[in-house]
């Protein structure tokens, strides 16, 4: 197990965090009775997974960085109560001590004196008038830090008197990263979520840079978010872009208030003009552009992924859903396949295999993703499909999401846009479940339900030519048996 700053005992029975204090601060650390390198034990079992160890190391690294910031501090007047509490926790942690040591201990007892001296060493008597004479080569700990250390020793472990904006950010990061680690979707979906999360991490950092690491009070969080919203609207003319950058820190603040600092109420903020600046998603023109795309779906000069995406117009399939579809989920004899959508539960759904050309495209690979692993793991699916959309139709305003609107628009022109089976075909989370319930326990995978889906799909296709593509490459094509 190779993880930066991880120290493993020679008998491999315990883990610890180990990191050297920067050279420029080592002398100051020595005067403050802080050992170098800093070693903090990880409270993990020997059989802990690499993910668990890495998470624990990251937490210790944050405490180490808090300690370094304290050592770098030159003007203690700028540190607030929450900052001193954070510094004190880092100081105790590097000394291997924990909160609650003095919980229930008489303040005037010998045990209390012993515990304080264990935590502070020579600094336990920092008020002694002869301290400087007794320790001429040492530097006194700031009185605020000494007071904060004693307060933490009296607190129950896990409690916190003061909270900072950074606490909310760290809490939100841990919450989201746990969700990512527990996510059991396809590799394509996991990679997509990780890319999105990296953007969110940057947005959290931008918020802290703008607002500063203030104390987490109701006044501070609401005023901080309000000022940040106003700042974003000047930086980003598009209200939707500004809203995306505001949503993440607002979510972090709200989660921390709901779970930890429950007496803080967070206001809902809106950005003026958001609905007005919503991006246009024009549907494909049914009389001129859709026939051109239908022909391209049967044209071997275009790639497999792009052609499958065109067939996806008639079920509202996104590029990500097509790329995540597995060969094992193609049921040729039953005339349907299961889209690999994992964005929402309703997006993983059975859809109809439209014709022989469609089936051949779905069957080009033996196992794994229908589009092949190389294509599935690429990151530019939407751009690739958008390029084909515009090339075929000559309309440079079309985007992949136009296809999802087109399917519903086409259904409305056929008088079937209200059907709840159609809503299921397109993966919408409708309140109407009558059709699914009517088709028994098997639900959306029952033959009767699939039959209804085929009828609707046939209705959508009735005005389009019946193309046949006998020359589709048969390399790696294997018969797919129904399961």
Helix axes 218-235, 239-259, angle to 10 degrees: 160
* Position 483 confidence tier, pLDDT thresholds 50, 70, 90: very low
Euclidean distance between CA atoms 334 and 315, whole angstroms = 17
Ranking 101-105, 117-121, 316-320 by mean pLDDT, the lowest is: 101-105
* Position 445 confidence tier, pLDDT thresholds 50, 70, 90: confident
Which residue reads 């196992």 in tokens?
367
Q: Which pLDDT value is given to residue 192?
A: 75
The set of residues, in sequence order, having a beta carbon less than 8 Å from that of 421 and lying 6+ positions away, is: 435, 449, 452, 453, 456
Q: Check pLDDT > 60 for residue 394.
A: yes
Euclidean distance between CA atoms 121 and 79, whole angstroms = 23
Token pair, residue 461, equals: 């296709």
HEC-encoded secondary structure of 260-277: CCCCCCCCCCCCCCCCCC
39 strand-pairing partners: 18
Q: Which pLDDT value is given to residue 440?
A: 40
Token pair, residue 452, equals: 């209804």
Q: Does the domain made of 289-461 have the CATH classification 3.20.20.70?
A: no
Overall average pLDDT of the 184-213 stretch:
84
Token pair, residue 436, equals: 């699914």
Euclidean distance between CA atoms 254 and 264, whole angstroms = 9
Euclidean distance between CA atoms 364 and 162, whole angstroms = 60
Look at the alpha carbons of 342, 343, 348, 352 in this order and tell me if their dihedral is positive or negative: negative
- Please choose, from the candidates 135, 131, 33, 139, the residue with its C-alpha nearest in 3D space to the C-alpha of residue 91: 33
The set of residues, in sequence order, having a beta carbon less than 8 Å from that of 271 and lying 6+ positions away, is: 229, 232, 233, 239, 242, 243, 246
Q: Check pLDDT > 80 for residue 351.
A: yes
Q: Check pLDDT > 90 for residue 121.
A: no
* Position 427 confidence tier, pLDDT thresholds 50, 70, 90: confident
Average pLDDT, the chain: 81
Overall average pLDDT of the 311-325 stretch:
88
Overall average pLDDT of the 206-231 stretch:
90
Q: Which pLDDT value is given to residue 114?
A: 81
* Position 304 confidence tier, pLDDT thresholds 50, 70, 90: very high
Euclidean distance between CA atoms 319 and 399, whole angstroms = 11
Euclidean distance between CA atoms 211 and 248, whole angstroms = 14
Q: Check pLDDT > 50 for residue 482.
A: no
* Position 341 confidence tier, pLDDT thresholds 50, 70, 90: low
Q: Which pLDDT value is given to residue 391?
A: 93
Euclidean distance between CA atoms 33 and 123, whole angstroms = 9
* Position 104 confidence tier, pLDDT thresholds 50, 70, 90: confident
Euclidean distance between CA atoms 186 and 194, whole angstroms = 12
Most confident of 116-130, 134-148, 258-272, 385-399: 385-399
Token pair, residue 217, equals: 């009070």
Domain ranges of the chain: 6-154, 179-259, 289-461
Higher pLDDT, 307 or 25: 307
Ramachandran category for residue 41: left, alpha or beta (phi over 0 → left; psi -120 to 50 → alpha): beta
Q: Check pLDDT > 70 for residue 472.
A: no
* Position 439 confidence tier, pLDDT thresholds 50, 70, 90: very low
Overall average pLDDT of the 249-254 stretch:
94
φ, ψ at 331 (rounded to 5°): -110, 85
Q: Which pLDDT value is given to residue 275?
A: 56
Euclidean distance between CA atoms 444 and 468, whole angstroms = 29
Q: Check pLDDT > 90 for residue 82.
A: no
* Position 405 confidence tier, pLDDT thresholds 50, 70, 90: confident
Count CB atoms within 10 A of the CB of residue 122: 16
Overall average pLDDT of the 117-146 stretch:
81
Q: Check pLDDT > 50 for residue 473.
A: no
Q: Check pLDDT > 60 for residue 224.
A: yes
The C-alpha angle with vertex 35 and arms to 163 and 162, in degrees rounded to 5, equals 10
Q: Which pLDDT value is given to residue 254?
A: 92
Overall average pLDDT of the 54-60 stretch:
85
φ, ψ at 17 (rounded to 5°): -90, 135
Q: Which pLDDT value is given to residue 206?
A: 93
Most confident of 23-32, 217-226, 260-269: 217-226
Count CB atoms within 10 A of the CB of residue 482: 10
Buried b (16+ CB within 10 A) or exposed e, 193-227: beeebeebbebbebbbeebebbbbbeebbbebbee
Count CB atoms within 10 A of the CB of residue 270: 10
Query: Structure pTM?
Result: 0.52
Q: Which pLDDT value is given to residue 316?
A: 86
Ranking 48-52, 248-252, 290-294 by mean pLDDT, the lowest is: 48-52
Q: Which pLDDT value is given to residue 478?
A: 40
How would you class 315 by CB atoms within 10 Å of its CB: exposed for 0-12, middle for 13-18, buried for 19 or more?
A: buried
Buried b (16+ CB within 10 A) or exposed e, 363-378: bbbeeebbbbeebbee
């Amino acid at each position: 197990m190779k993880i930066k700053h991880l120290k493993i005992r020679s008998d491999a029975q315990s883990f610890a965090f180990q990191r050297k204090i920067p050279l420029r601060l080592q002398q100051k650390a020595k005067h403050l009775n802080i050992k170098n390198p800093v070693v903090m034990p990880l409270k993990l079992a020997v059989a802990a997974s690499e993910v668990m160890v890495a998470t624990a190391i990251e937490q210790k690294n944050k405490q180490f960085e808090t300690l370094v910031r304290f050592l770098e501090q030159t003007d203690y007047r700028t540190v607030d109560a929450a900052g001193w509490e954070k510094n004190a926790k880092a100081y105790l942690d590097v000394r291997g001590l924990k909160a609650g040591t003095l919980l229930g201990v008489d303040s005037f007892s010998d045990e209390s004196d012993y515990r304080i001296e264990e935590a502070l060493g020579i600094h336990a008597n920092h008020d002694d008038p002869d301290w400087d004479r007794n320790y001429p080569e040492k530097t006194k700990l700031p009185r605020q830090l000494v007071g904060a250390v004693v307060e933490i020793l009296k607190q129950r472990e896990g409690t916190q008197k003061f909270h900072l904006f950074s606490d909310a950010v760290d809490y939100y990061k841990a919450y989201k990263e746990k969700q990512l680690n527990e996510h059991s979707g396809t590799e394509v979906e996991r990679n997509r979520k990780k890319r999105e999360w990296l953007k969110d991490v940057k947005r959290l950092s931008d918020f802290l840079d703008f607002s500063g690491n203030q104390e987490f009070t109701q006044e501070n969080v609401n005023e901080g978010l309000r000022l940040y919203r106003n700042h974003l609207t000047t930086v980003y003319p598009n209200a939707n872009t500004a809203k995306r950058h505001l949503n993440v820190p607002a979510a972090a603040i709200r989660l921390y208030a709901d779970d930890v600092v429950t007496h803080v109420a967070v206001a809902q903020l809106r950005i003026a003009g958001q609905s007005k600046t919503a991006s246009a998603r024009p549907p494909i023109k049914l009389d001129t552009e859709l026939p051109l795309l239908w022909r391209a779906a049967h044209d071997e000069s275009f790639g497999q992924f792009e052609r499958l995406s065109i067939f996806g117009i008639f079920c509202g399939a996104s590029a990500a859903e097509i790329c995540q579809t597995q060969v094992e989920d193609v049921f040729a004899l039953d005339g349907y396949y299961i889209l690999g959508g994992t964005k929402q539960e309703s997006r993983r759904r059975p859809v109809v295999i439209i014709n022989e050309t469609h089936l051949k495209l779905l069957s080009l690979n033996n196992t794994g993703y229908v589009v092949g692993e190389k294509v599935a793991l690429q990151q530019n699916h939407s751009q690739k499909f958008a390029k084909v959309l515009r090339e075929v139709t000559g309309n440079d305003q079309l985007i992949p999401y136009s296809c999802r609107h087109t399917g519903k628009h086409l259904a409305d022109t056929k008088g079937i846009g209200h059907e709840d089976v159609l809503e299921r075909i397109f993966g919408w989370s409708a309140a109407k479940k009558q059709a699914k319930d009517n088709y028994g326990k098997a639900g959306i995978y029952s033959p009767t339900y699939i039959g209804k889906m085929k009828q609707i799909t046939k209705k959508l296709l009735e005005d389009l030519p019946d193309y046949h593509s006998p020359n589709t490459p048969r390399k790696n094509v294997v018969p797919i048996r129904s399961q």
